[in-house]
């Protein structure tokens, strides 16, 4: 009697006729009695040198020559020392004996051993190591593990303004650098036994967030390619997995081989996506013509999509963006001088690009989208959008430590309605959920609905301060500081000094005698004080870490709504921070001995920190339109040195 021995990994399977395939590092577990002749009482095992086996439960007789008692739970656990060079080049046999140890029959298993490993850079060192034991899981922290995946939201093609992840194929070699390398390593005979195949697969949920491409042949592609080879290049990197293709057979190359796959992130973490992606590779076994194939081995890797990370004012600037409009020449000239003095690059977005939108807090993505420069959008559904959804209402602190908990990437700061308000404006839910889902810069919500525009950058900002414990200083608008300054001017005999250089001129005395304006600023101060306490608590700040800026506000009535606050004169806290150089809205305050008293006060407060103040005239082109320097500019900064995956969660 000659039978084949066949099995599944980590499961018991009947001895039966056929051939066997074994995965290196895995075992075949077989119930020996299932194919034994009816009168069998004993059995023995022999194998070739590349085969290893053990018997459970272990027999009492230690000699391998002695027949072993056969029971209903006798299990043969088979493994291989190394991959096969040829199909069926190893074998194992089981011989059965009767009561008197007479030979009743023999079962023979012809084995083919294959090494299969789906690998990623699980230890985050830039090298895709072979079969890392942690490749199938993900852990935060400096001692953590797990591969990292980027969202491919830039555009390698400058002539077609469309993010790469919206393209149907890989169009540039450089695009591969935005993807994570995944390597299929195999070792074994020239081909798999007939009917067996390798299949890569992914869940429907994960497929909405990732795509996988592969090289058509093993080896490294040339790092340069001409446009004339575009079609050939696309064919060299066929799509393997996507939201429409959840499973696909992948080549088994034979011998000892590697094949590169490229994993592309399609979306950032969000309310319905934790950022984790699992990709599986299975070896499928043919069962029969009318039966589905069965996986006998599955390998899994896990990757986490990199979060969307904001950069605070304290990071090194790289490039400044401003808009050019028909009426902002004075502002633009001031910005040009500041950026040149600071030694950075100025990128001017002209009118044909900005379409009349001067608020550079909203990038004109059709012009700026390009290699290594991408964007992400969120669309509110069935929800009213307000000015709180503009991105002067989205800021981030420098790194802080709060009650022993470190935030090495800082904390995002947003403005919303007051917590107890039954009505009011809020940043849309879809944006808030997106920000909280990033995890690495846990947001802090401030009360900003008291402002007409409603942005947090109207009453706070951060500047570098090497002499402070947090290496930062919070600048906070403070009407009380403004009134203190004006009263000091009045007491010093400068009550008739005038603010502004236009028809709206007003004296210090008139400002101090305006009881309505005073009541407005009392209300504003109470709102800012509430936010100040939140910032101290959530960022771990002391009063010494905060500098009060002398800024007054006034309440204006919005059509069909309650009164809200706007800056009474250019809001000096709404500044641009370029290293040690500050671009501050020129306040046009009362002059004493030919110098603006507000400018002098700002210099006194900030130059002690080693900061240099430059005042930029944005009065007509921005302030009167309810914005200032920060609203009309944007800065691309050097990313953090800290690796986000090293955060302790």
Catalytic residues: 631
Distance of CA 602 to the CA centre of its chain: 38
Query: CB-hemisphere CA count at 13 Å for 81?
Result: 9
Segment holding 30, helix H or strand E: strand 28-31
- Spell 471-493 as b/e; 16+ CB within 10 A means b: ebbbbbbbbbbbbebbeebbeee
Q: 186: which DSSP letter?
A: E
| C-alpha R_g of the chain | 35
Tokens of 219: 């080896």
Residue 113, C-beta contacts closer than 8 angstroms, at least 6 positions apart: 21, 22, 23, 24, 50, 80, 82, 83, 84, 90, 188
Pairing of strands 103-119, 20-23: parallel
Whole-angstrom CA distances from 345 to 316, 319, 338, 341 are 12, 5, 11, 10
What is the distance between the alpha carbons of residues 505 and 569, in angstroms, rounded to a whole number? 11
C-alpha 297/C-alpha 22 separation (Å) is 9
The residues, any chain, with a CB within 8 Å of residue 208's CB and separated by 6 or more, are 243, 266, 267, 273
SS3 string of 537-596? HHHCCCHHHEEEEECCEEEEECCCCCEEEEECCCCCCCCEEECCEEEEECCCCCEECCEE
Tell which residue, 225, 41, 15, has the closest CA to residue 107: 15
* Contact present, 609 and 619 (Cβ < 8 Å): no
Token pair for 392: 């002067």
Closest among 159, 157, 180 to 169, alpha carbons compared? 157
Q: Which residue has the tokens 């001031």?
A: 334
Q: Which of 184, 169, 168 is nearest to 135 (CA)?
A: 184
Determine phi and psi for 402, rounding to 5 degrees.
-125, 115
* Secondary structure element (H or E) that encloses residue 479, with its range: helix 479-491
Measured between alpha carbons, how far is 175 from 340 in angstroms, rounded to an integer? 33
Residue 7 CA to its chain's centroid (Å): 42
């Amino acid at each position: 009697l000659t039978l084949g021995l066949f099995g599944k990994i980590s499961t018991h399977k009947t001895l039966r006729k056929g051939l066997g395939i074994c995965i290196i590092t895995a075992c075949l577990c077989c119930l020996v009695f299932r194919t034994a002749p009816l009168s069998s009482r004993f059995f023995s095992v022999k194998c070739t040198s590349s085969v290893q086996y053990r018997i459970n439960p272990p027999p009492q007789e230690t000699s391998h020559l002695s027949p072993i008692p056969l029971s209903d739970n006798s299990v043969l656990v088979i493994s291989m020392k190394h991959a096969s060079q040829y199909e069926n080049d190893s074998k194992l046999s089981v011989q059965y004996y009767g009561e008197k140890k007479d030979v009743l029959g023999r079962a023979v298993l012809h084995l083919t051993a294959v090494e299969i490993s789906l690998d990623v850079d699980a230890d985050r060192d830039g090298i895709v190591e072979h079969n890392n034991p942690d490749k199938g899981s993900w852990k935060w922290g400096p001692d953590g593990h797990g591969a990292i995946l980027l969202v491919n939201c830039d555009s390698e093609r400058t002539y077609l303004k469309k993010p790469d992840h919206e393209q149907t194929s890989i169009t540039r070699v450089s695009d591969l650098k935005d993807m994570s390398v995944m390597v299929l390593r195999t070792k074994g005979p020239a081909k798999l036994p007939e009917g067996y195949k390798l299949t890569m697969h992914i869940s429907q949920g994960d497929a909405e967030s990732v795509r996988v491409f592969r090289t058509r042949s093993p080896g490294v592609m040339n790092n340069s390619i001409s446009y004339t080879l575009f079609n050939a290049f696309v064919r060299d990197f066929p799509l393997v997995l996507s939201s429409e293709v959840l499973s696909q057979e992948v080549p088994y190359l034979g011998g000892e081989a590697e094949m590169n796959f490229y994993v592309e992130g399609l979306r950032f973490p969000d309310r319905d996506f934790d950022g984790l992606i699992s990709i599986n590779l299975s070896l499928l076994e043919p069962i029969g013509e009318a039966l589905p194939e069965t996986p006998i081995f599955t390998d899994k890797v896990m990757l986490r999509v990199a979060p969307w990370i904001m950069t605070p004012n304290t990071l090194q600037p790289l490039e400044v963006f401003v808009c050019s409009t028909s009426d902002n020449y004075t502002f633009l000239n001031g910005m040009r001088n500041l950026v040149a003095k600071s030694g950075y690059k100025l990128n001017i977005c002209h009118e044909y690009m900005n379409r009349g939108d001067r608020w550079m807090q909203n990038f004109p993505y059709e012009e700026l989208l390009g290699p290594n420069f991408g964007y992400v959008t969120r669309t509110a559904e069935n929800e009213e959008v307000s000015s709180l959804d503009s991105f002067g209402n989205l800021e981030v602190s420098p790194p802080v430590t709060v009650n022993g908990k470190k935030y090495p990437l800082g904390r995002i700061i947003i403005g919303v309605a007051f917590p107890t308000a039954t009505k009011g404006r809020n940043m849309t839910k879809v944006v808030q959920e997106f920000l909280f889902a990033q995890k690495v810069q846990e947001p802090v919500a401030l009360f900003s609905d008291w402002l007409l525009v409603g942005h947090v950058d109207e009453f706070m900002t951060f500047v570098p301060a090497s002499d402070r414990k947090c290496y930062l200083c919070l600048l906070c608008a403070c009407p009380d500081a403004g009134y203190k300054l004006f009263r000091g001017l009045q007491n010093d005999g400068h009550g008739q000094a005038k603010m502004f250089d236009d028809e709206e001129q007003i004296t210090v005395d008139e400002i101090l005698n305006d009881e309505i304006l005073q009541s407005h600023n009392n209300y504003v101060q109470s709102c800012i004080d509430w936010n100040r306490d939140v910032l101290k608590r959530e960022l771990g700040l002391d009063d010494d870490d905060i500098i009060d800026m002398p800024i007054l506000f006034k309440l204006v009535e919005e059509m069909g709504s309650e009164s809200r606050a706007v800056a009474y004169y250019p809001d000096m806290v709404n500044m641009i921070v370029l290293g040690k150089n500050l671009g501050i809205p020129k306040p046009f305050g009362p002059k004493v001995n030919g110098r603006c008293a507000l400018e002098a006060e700002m210099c006194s407060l900030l130059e002690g920190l080693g900061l240099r103040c430059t005042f930029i005239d944005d009065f007509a082109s921005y302030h009167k339109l309810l914005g200032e320097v920060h609203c009309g500019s944007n800065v691309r900064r050097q990313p953090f040195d800290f690796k986000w995956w090293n955060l302790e969660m």
